[in-house]
Structure 1
Amino acid sequence: MRIRIAAALSAVAATALLLSGCAGAGSPSASPTPSASSSCLLNAKPGKASDAVKVDGEGKDLKVTVPADADVDSATTPQRTVLKKGDGKDVKSGDLVSVQYRIVAAADSSVLDSSSRGVDDQLPVLLDPQQQSLFVAALECQPLGTSVVLALPGKVLGEGQKAIVVYAQSTKKLPTAATGTAAAPVDGMPTVKLAKDGAPEITIPKTDPPTETKISLLKTGDGPTVASGDYVIVQYRGVTWADGKEFDSSWKRGAPAQFQTTGVVTGFKKALEGQKVGSQVLAVIPPADGYGAQAQGSIPANSTLVFVVDILGTVPAAPAQ
């Protein structure tokens, strides 16, 4: 399910896809990067529509009901009502947080998407205004632990869109580097040294590159397993085997990235799927599983690629509506 808050966030240059991350066009860097900022992008205020929404139950039994007289579509801007104030630090754009949420149709309260497919009815959310602007609008500038109702009239979602209501609660801030147990290095693979913030320094061995994709674990996580088609949240650095030069890095951009496992090159997909959240993966990807004979930006043709990837979260794709 893809929706845009076209009018609502355009004023702050944050129009974006709301629910699921974009599938990259073959490279992790194809996904837009979060723009971390301490300022509020929207900071929606309460109104008649958001105040009227009822939230009952807890956990997987939590239910959101939109009364007929809420008339969400009569609103001219998004409305946000705080149900319960948290006691953590303010959540801001660029944060990685665990979220419990329900997204329902304003017309009949039918559930369009929810966090119920996650562990403990929660899913990791990277508050990237370019991909997750719905959750940025719902949670920004409120303390961690806050629960809110966000009412969005159809007119701010785009032409022909139906009004929706979002319940969301940020529950905890998640680490932005792999936290798994260190694993023994594998002979013949590049060596990796981590900076204090977790950013990897990669040293290429003085040998010929492998002709098949090679994957080893630097850290072994114990979180959910990444499945094919999941939207993953990662930190990564990529260099070329030939000269060790960096061609892409989420660390350098200052925030994690998110993309679908089916939207990246074959070797990177192999490095992600089947791994657990919290793991750090080292992958050596020959041209056949990378970009082949085609140059890609600063990557020369026929390059063997080396990635170190910290897997921070994984989100199963939402069921088709």
Structure 2
Amino acid sequence: MRIRPLVALSAVAVTALLLAGCSSSGDPEASPTPSSTDSECLLDAQPGADSDAITVAGEAPELDATVPADLGFEDIQRTIVSEGDGDELHVGDLVSGAYEFYDGASGKRLETSVDTSADESGLVPILLDASAYSVFVAALECAPLGSTAAITIPGSAFGEGGSSVALVAQGVEKLPTQATGEDVAPTDGMPTVTLAEDGAPTIELPGGDAPTKTEVAQLKKGDGAVVKEGDTVFVQYTGVKWSDGTVFDSSWERGAPTAFPTTGVVAGFKQALEGQAVGSQVIAVIPPADGYGEGEINEDDLVGETLVFVVDILGTQRAVTQ
């Protein structure tokens, strides 16, 4: 059973959690009443008999949880097993931490972050992303950094055919949201990059024709774990079109890092990521053949466009092995 594709809860489950978190009354007929934390807590999963039954004997990176095999899994529940002393975590935060997934039927451990960590720490990046990693939002949001949470999730929360799981997770420390590596001298002929105070890049294109092969250069050289093929990479990025210099996508504009496997992006972007160390910032110029394909340029898609990306590599996690 693979867990990584299941870290996003279904829209139905997220909606149910939102409604439950907004209600301050035990009366099921009562209208939801916003609380003082509604603007900060997105899912706000509550404790119950299932999540309370999970015990945790260890600390990150090895949490060593015990999940009973007879849990009911009637709804999503969260119990804070131990409370940390850091700042509260919220959607958009990126932290290092540890997690363990357990099969809901048997209580058997399915996956642990120790097995997917990219370095000797045994920790992995954890992104509180409501669209792609809502399980971790449900587990860690609105709890102090350093807290350990136990959460139980019925299979229905993942959509049709989903299996019930339990998750134990702990955030350890916040990770930088911009590249921290040493500056590297600019490469001749590449676009010029200027960074704002928060790290957001502005890209100025050089004159002349676009290159016909993908070109990648470092702007900052990190010293963290090296990204391997199939890793899930945690990044900030901005992409512009060579044809007119306009930004077509940017995590900076959305206000939070993002994550994806290197095998899930266009060939030129994959080439820019793999082999780079965490903490690095790279610039990649990607012709259509390594991007979205050849064709006539139009404003509705990226076909025929040469693309320029500036990418800050914030973390990486190894793929799950079977």
- Output the TM-score relative to the length of structure 1: 0.85
CA displacement at 1:219 relative to structure 2: 0.3
**Worse-superposed segment, 284-293 or 299-308:** 299-308
Partner in structure 1 of residue 308 of structure 2: 306
Q: Distance in 2 between matches of 1:270 and 1:257?
A: 18
Q: Is the 8 A contact 2:147 2:171 kept in 1?
A: yes
Partner in structure 1 of residue 29 of structure 2: none
SS at match of 2:263: helix
Partner in structure 1 of residue 173 of structure 2: 172
Q: Is the 8 A contact 1:72 1:163 kept in 2?
A: no
CA displacement at 1:61 relative to structure 2: 4.6
What is the CA deviation profile of residues 56-113 of structure 1, one whole-angstrom value per residue up to 9, with x for unaligned ones? 2345554221234xx322x432221111111111111111111211111133332212
Q: Is the 8 A contact 1:247 1:299 kept in 2?
A: no
- Output the TM-score relative to the length of structure 2: 0.84
Q: Is the 8 A contact 2:60 2:172 kept in 1?
A: no
**Worse-superposed segment, 160-169 or 54-63:** 54-63
What is the CA deviation profile of residues 240-284 of structure 1, one whole-angstrom value per residue up to 9, with x for unaligned ones? 223222222111121222222112111111001111111100111
Partner in structure 2 of residue 48 of structure 1: 49
Q: Is the 8 A contact 1:178 1:280 kept in 2?
A: yes
SS at match of 1:136: helix
Is residue 71 of structure 2 the alignment partner of residue 72 of structure 1?
yes
Partner in structure 1 of residue 232 of structure 2: 231
Q: Is the 8 A contact 1:124 1:314 kept in 2?
A: yes
**Which one scores higher on RCO, CA 8 angstroms, separation ≥ 6?**
1
Equivalent of 1:81 in 79, 84, 88: 79
Q: Is the 8 A contact 1:64 1:109 kept in 2?
A: no
Q: Is the 8 A contact 1:103 1:167 kept in 2?
A: yes
Partner in structure 2 of residue 243 of structure 1: 244
1:1-321 to structure 2, matched below 5 A, reads 1=2, 2-3=5-6, 5-6=9-10, 7-11=12-16, 38-59=39-60, 61-68=62-69, 71-73=70-72, 75-116=73-114, 117-118=116-117, 119=119, 120-294=121-295, 295=297, 298=300, 301-320=303-322
Q: Note closer, same or farther for the CA distance 1:208–1:317 as it changes in structure 2 (3 Å cut).
A: same
Q: Is the 8 A contact 1:50 1:151 kept in 2?
A: yes
**Worse-superposed segment, 288-297 or 166-175:** 288-297
CA displacement at 1:13 relative to structure 2: 6.8
What is the CA deviation profile of residues 271-310 of structure 1, one whole-angstrom value per residue up to 9, with x for unaligned ones? 0111111110011112221223235754564322111111
Q: Note closer, same or farther for the CA distance 1:106–1:298 as it changes in structure 2 (3 Å cut).
A: same
Q: Distance in 1 between matches of 2:299 and 2:264?
A: 17
Q: Distance in 2 between matches of 1:176 and 1:296?
A: 33
SS at match of 2:46: coil
Q: Note closer, same or farther for the CA distance 1:293–1:180 as it changes in structure 2 (3 Å cut).
A: same
Instruction: Give the counterpart letter for 1:219 in structure 2.
Output: K
Q: Is the 8 A contact 2:279 2:313 kept in 1?
A: yes
**Worse-superposed segment, 104-113 or 121-130:** 104-113
SS at match of 1:271: helix
CA displacement at 1:162 relative to structure 2: 3.2
Q: Note closer, same or farther for the CA distance 1:11–1:185 as it changes in structure 2 (3 Å cut).
A: same
Structure 2, unaligned stretches of length 5 or more? 20-37
- Between the aligned residues of both structures, percent identity stands at 52
CA displacement at 1:47 relative to structure 2: 1.8
SS at match of 2:172: strand
What is the CA deviation profile of residues 122-171 of structure 1, one whole-angstrom value per residue up to 9, with x for unaligned ones? 11011111111111111111011111111223344444433321111011
SS at match of 2:238: strand
- Count of aligned pairs: 295
What is the CA deviation profile of residues 189-214 of structure 1, one whole-angstrom value per residue up to 9, with x for unaligned ones? 11111011111111111122222111
SS at match of 1:89: coil
Instruction: Give the counterpart letter for 2:207 in structure 1.
Output: K
Q: Note closer, same or farther for the CA distance 1:319–1:13 as it changes in structure 2 (3 Å cut).
A: farther
Q: Distance in 1 between matches of 2:269 and 2:259?
A: 13
Q: Note closer, same or farther for the CA distance 1:304–1:256 as it changes in structure 2 (3 Å cut).
A: same
Q: Distance in 2 between matches of 1:305 and 1:156?
A: 37
Q: Distance in 1 between matches of 2:303 and 2:68?
A: 59
